[in-house]
Amino acid sequence: MSHTEDNQIFLNAIRALNVTSRQAMALSLELAPQNPCEFLELTKVGSERRFSFARLFDQLLVRGHINWSSLRQSLADLALELHAQELDRETAADHVAPLPSLKTFAIAYCGEFKHKHLWDKLLPALGAAHRSPTLFASRLIEIGASLREISADEWLNVSPKSLRAMNDVSILYLCTHGRVEKAHYQAAMYDHYWQPSASDFCVKGPKVLALDTCHGADRTPPYQNFWSVALKGASIRLLLACEGPIVMDRLSAKRGYAFGDNLSQGNTSIADAWLRAVRATSTTGTSRPVAIGLGDNTSDAEAMLRLTFDDLSSPQKRPAPLSPCGSVCFADRH
C-alpha cells in the first residue's frame, strides 16, 4: 500500500475511536508515530475494540508506510474539525436545555401552632415536621435541583399564592397537620387552617403538590369531591398524599429523603417515588400513601402517574395546567 492509503487507514481508525479534539491535537504534536491506544486515554470504546485497534495501529507502524509529517498535519486538521463539532453540540445543548426554574422546588412545614379558636388551641406540636421536607430538599440539591423557598412555623401563615416563589417551582412539599372538616381538606398553618382552592395555584405554579399530612386523600368523603373544585384550572397535575393518618415520628420522617432519592432515579415515576418512600419508612406500617393524577380526561390523568422528575425539566413533557372549563378527571395509585 502507499503512504497515502496507510495514512488514510490510520485517520479512519482514529475517527472510529471517537477521540476528542484535545486528544487528536495531542497526537498531532508527537515527534514520531506511536500507537494511539498506548498514547491516549481512549475511554469511549470497550477493551475488546481497543485491543483490535491497537493491533491495527501496530501493523501500520511496523509496515513503515506512514508519512508522519503529512499525518501530523491531517491530525491537526482533524482536531480543528472535531473542535468545531464539539462547539456545535454544546450550542445545541444550550438551546434545548431546560429552564432552571423547571427543576426547582419549595418546602413548607409547621411544627408549632398558635391557633385562636378554643378547639384548636390544643393542636399538638409536631417535633419532626421539619425533617421530611428538609431531608427531601437535601437530596434534591445533591442531584442539582434548586430550592427556591422555605417557609416554616410562624412564617407559614399564608396560602401558597402569597409565597414568593410559587410561579417558579415544579414541586411544593408541605408538612404539617391535616384534617377533613365538613368534607373539605384543610392543612394547619401557624395560626389558622388553610383550605386549598384554585386561586392558590396560578397556571405557572407548581405541577406537583406533596402533602406530608394526615387525610390529604381520604376516600370518605371521596377526595375527588373536594379536589376537583379546589384544583380546577390550576397548575397542579399530580397530588401526593396519604389516606387517613400519616406517621410523624423522627424515623418515619426519613420518607422525605427516600422520596428525593427515588426521584434521583431518572426512570422512576414521581408517583412511585412517593408511594415507595412512605411505605419503606413508616415505622408502624399504617401510613397509606396515595398518588393522584389529575387531567382533563382519564388518559391525561393516568399519564400523570407516569410523570418523572426529569419530565418536569422538559418543555416538551412538562404538563400544561388543567383546563378551567369542564370537569377534572382523576387516576390514583395506592
This prediction has a pTM of 0.69
Measured CA to CA, the distance from residue 214 to residue 229 in angstroms comes to 20
pLDDT band per the 50, 70, 90 thresholds, residue 1: low
Q: Which of 215, 221, 137 is nearest to 177 (CA)?
A: 215
206: cell is: 407548581
Average pLDDT over residues 205-221: 92
- Give the HSE-up count for residue 27: Cα atoms under 13 Å, Cβ half-sphere: 29
pLDDT band per the 50, 70, 90 thresholds, residue 215: very high
The whole-number pLDDT of residue 101 equals: 44
* pLDDT above 90: percentage of residues in the chain: 46
The whole-number pLDDT of residue 277 equals: 96
Instruction: Delimit the domains of the chain by residue range.
Output: 3-96, 100-333
What dotted CATH number matches 100-333? 3.40.50
* pLDDT above 70: percentage of residues in the chain: 87
Measured CA to CA, the distance from residue 38 to residue 57 in angstroms comes to 10
Neighbours of 39 (CB within 10 A): 14
Q: What is the pLDDT of residues 262-308, one digit of tens each?
A: 999 878 999 999 999 999 999 998 999 999 999 999 999 999 999 99
What single-letter DSSP state applies at residue 64?
A: T
Q: What is the pLDDT of residues 227-260, one digit of tens each?
A: 999 999 999 999 999 999 999 999 999 999 999 9
Measured CA to CA, the distance from residue 318 to residue 61 in angstroms comes to 54
Q: What is the pLDDT of residues 32-63, one digit of tens each?
A: 777 777 666 554 556 666 677 788 888 888 88
The whole-number pLDDT of residue 86 equals: 84
Burial of 227 (0-12, 13-18, 19+ CB in 10 A): buried
96: cell is: 434545548
Q: Which residues contact 8 (CB under 8 A, 6 or more apart)?
A: none
Q: Which of 171, 173, 141 is nearest to 261 (CA)?
A: 141
Integer Rg of the chain from CA: 29
Q: At what angle do helices 131-142 and 255-263 cross, to 10 degrees?
A: 20
C-alpha pair distances (Å), 289 with each of 78, 271, 293: 57, 10, 13
Element (H, E) at 68: helix 68-96
